[in-house]
Amino acid sequence: MKSNLVSYVELSVAMVIVGSTVVVGKLVTLSFPVFLASALRFALSSIILLPELLKAGNGFPRLSRKLFIYDLLALRAEMDQCY
């Protein structure tokens, strides 16, 4: 019973966080340009997640050459769509 309660509380907290990002996102885009808001979002998440990555002890994940090439191709395709 207690594990079910903990699960429901965690699920509720997750839904509140996800739901609040819509409201906060709209407020931020009213205050800042869209690309600046996106850059600030990624910077904030990097600041939060980088210590967690280093605390895990495994360091940065290694990317194989094949996946690196796929990433470059995906980035190129995305850049082509912008222009």
Q: What is the pLDDT of residue 59?
A: 72
| Residue corresponding to tokens 């904030």 | 44
* Cα dihedral 47, 53, 55, 61 in deg (nearest 10): -150
Q: Is the pLDDT of residue 67 over 80?
A: yes
Q: What is the pLDDT of residue 31?
A: 86
pLDDT at 15: 93
Q: What is the Cα–Cα distance from 21 to 26, expressed in whole angstroms?
A: 8
30-63 pLDDT tens trace: 888 888 888 888 899 899 888 888 887 777 778 8
Q: Judge whether residue 24 has pLDDT over 70.
A: yes
**Band of residue 16 on the pLDDT scale cut at 50, 70, 90:** very high
